[in-house]
Structures are given as C-alpha cells and as structure tokens.
Amino acid sequence: MARPDKEKAVAELTEDFRTATATVLTEYRGLSVTSMKQLRRALGATTKYSVVKNTLTKIAAKNAGVDLSPDLLVGPSAVAFIKGDPIDAAKGLRDFAKENPFLVIKGGIYEGKAVTKEELMQLANLESREVLLAKLAGAMKGSLAKAARVFDALRIKLEMSKVSEPIAVEAVSEVPAEAVTTDVVVEAVATADVVSEELTPSTEEKE
C-alpha cells in the first residue's frame, strides 16, 4: 500500500475509533463474501464493519487514544465500529456467530474500557434501549391510570357528601399528568378521608 493510501486509511480508522460508542474486533477467516454482506445487514446502518490491517489499526487506535490489547490484533481482523446502540450490535454479532462459527469475536472497547468476549456476550443479553423505554412508558401509563382513578374517587366522595358550600374539586382533576407522583396520590387519598370525616354528620348531629 502506497504511503498516501496508508495515511488515508489510518486517518479514517482513527476517526472511526473516535466516533464509535463501542468497538468490537473479530476474526473473519473462512467467511465468504456473501456471509460478510449478511453480517453487515444484520448489524444495521449504525455499525460499520470493516476488514482492516492490524498494523494500521494499531496506529489508528493509538492516535485516537484507544488502548488495544495486542491479542486483539492477531490473525485476519475485521472491526465493528458501533455508532448506534451497543446492545443491539452485540446481539447481532452474537446471533450471527451462532450460525456462522467462522466469525470469531475476540473482544473490544466499550465506554472507553477494554472488554472481553464474555463481557460482550453479557452486554448482548441485556435489553435494548428501545425495549426498556417501552417498558418504562407502560409502567408510567399504568401509574397515571391508577392516579386518575384515585382522583375520580376523591371527586365522587366529595360530591356524595352533603355540603352546603361547594368545594373546588375541579382543580384536582386539572393536575397535569406529568405532575402526578406517588406523594400526590397518597396526599389526595388522605385528604379525601379527612374531608369525608369532617363533612359526614355524626350520629349526635343527626339527632
């Protein structure tokens, strides 16, 4: 490779190391061109999977301030530069390696630290960001629904109490959903019980 080409390759690899959220080094010996294309599709558009020269990769990693173990740069190497969710990419590599044993995952860099193959597989077993956000949204929706039922019960309890002076319960129903917390719900329930006790005539008063 001519010197200008080497410098260009090193500069590109250096930028890849700097911008990647995680980097996984693999050995691809035995994988066909078709298999490599399938792997790239499986990893998605946010991961760049490139066949690299070990000497140039070592220089680029050093330029980017990444400490790569020499063990990761043995044999024919290909690097997955992950620009998206590391968990999704780790899952893609894990699943592909199960069906294609020629893909050997050697290790990598995650959050600026060296990680082993075993640690990458643990990462692959985690739930992705999208799944966690979906679960969080579902939990929040359920909590808000419970809070709404409590407020409805409070309004009904107040309306059922025969009070000569109307109580402004509309303000309660107008509380923004995002302002609803566990403390608010507990306070609302406590308030309802106190108001009910104060407004319900005692036996002596009825007589």
Give the C-alpha separation, 143 to 181, whole Å. Answer: 9
Q: How confident is the model over 61-111, as pLDDT tens digits?
A: 999 999 899 999 999 999 999 999 888 899 999 999 999 999 999 999 998
Whole-angstrom Cα Rg for the chain = 30
Residue from 174, 176, 175, 170 nearest 155 by CA: 170
% helix, strand, coil for the chain, step of 5: 60, 15, 25
Q: Report pTM.
A: 0.61
pLDDT at residue 176 above 60? Answer: no
Residue 11 · residue 44 · CB < 8 Å: no
Q: How confident is the model over 147-168, as pLDDT tens digits?
A: 667 666 666 666 566 554 444 4
Q: How confident is the model over 28-64, as pLDDT tens digits?
A: 999 999 999 999 999 999 999 999 999 999 999 999 9
Q: How confident is the model over 114-132, as pLDDT tens digits?
A: 999 999 988 888 765 555 4
Residue 150 · residue 189 · CB < 8 Å: yes
Domains of the chain: 3-126 (3.30.70.1730), 130-206 (no CATH)
